[in-house]
Amino acid sequence: MVGLIEQEPILRLKKLFEKKQFDDIISFCHDLLKNDSKNMIALQNLSTAYIMVGANDDAIKYCEKVLKLNATDEHALKNKMFAYEKLEKHNQVINCCDAILAKYPDDVDALVTKGIALNKTGEHGDAIEIYKIVLKKDPNNVDALMNIAVTLKFLKKLDEAIKYYDKIQILDPSIKRASIEKYEVFIELGSTDDAFLAAQGITTDEAKEIKTQAKENDYSVQHAYSLRRFYKLQKTNSQ
């Protein structure tokens, strides 16, 4: 019976979250706190609900209440990190990330968030090092790949940036931002043919093949690309 009583608030909160009834969640949690000011379920869910309604200062307040009871509570640390990120208080975001990473050193979300916060504070070299740590753990982490590419582009390390944009295009061609930013890099480098191909989502290796074909047949890169696309479509339709 005791187990069922303890589960009731959790089940009710789950249903309220599923229905996105955040005001009701806030009211219910405050009722729970009237009976027990240290109720962790109420404190944790209040912080989440306040984030969902955009009340980030209130979210931080309840995260801190949780952290007074448990200084390494992952839920509270992440909510606090997220709330500070929404408030664009980047130094506080970094502090939250460091607190998370002190206990959970492999937390990729905290690492990427710290990298972004370092970018926001102008510490671009440190941000790059953080993204590289993420990529050692997960070479295909698109968030880290995109952020390191954008940082390198900002620092005018354009050839390095291209490599990361290229990998994003290979991993997930649907990410149009990679194609657009890679196009912008090639425009800055003065390579209009490569810029055109990048905008079409063509990878560096594919671009080399298309440019070689254009040179061997003495026609434009745009024409070579169009022919390549036509033959691919023809092959797909014949299967």
Q: Please report which confidence band the pLDDT of residue 236 belongs to, taking 50, 70 and 90 as the band edges.
A: low
Does residue 125 fall inside a structural domain? no
Q: Which tokens is 103 given?
A: 């206990």
Contact 140, 172 (CB under 8 A): no
Please check whether residue 65 lies inside any domain of the structure.
Answer: yes
Task: Report pLDDT for 238.
Answer: 65
Q: Is residue 200 part of a domain?
A: no
Tokens of 63: 């995260």
| Residue 22: inside a domain | yes
* Mean pLDDT for the chain overall: 92
Q: Which two tokens stand for residue 169?
A: 């295009």
Q: Which amino acid is at 206?
A: E
pLDDT higher than 50, residue 187: yes
Residue 55 domain flag = yes
The token duo for 121 is 């504070």
Q: With respect to residue 52, please indicate whether it lies within any of the assigned structural domains.
A: yes
CB 164 within 8 A of CB 148: yes
Q: Are 175 and 168 in contact (CB under 8 A)?
A: yes
Concatenated DSSP letters for 213-235?
A: HHHHHT--HHHHHHHHHHHHHHH
High-pLDDT (> 90) share of the chain, %: 83
Q: Which structural domain, as residue segments, surrounds residue 78?
A: 8-87
Structural domain includes residue 147: no
Instruction: Give the count of domains, the chain.
Output: 1
Other CB atoms closer than 10 Å to residue 218's CB: what's the count? Answer: 6
- pLDDT at res. 5: 44
Query: How far apart are alpha carbons 75 and 35 in whole angstroms?
Result: 22
In a domain? residue 37: yes
- What's 25's domain CATH number? 1.25.40.10
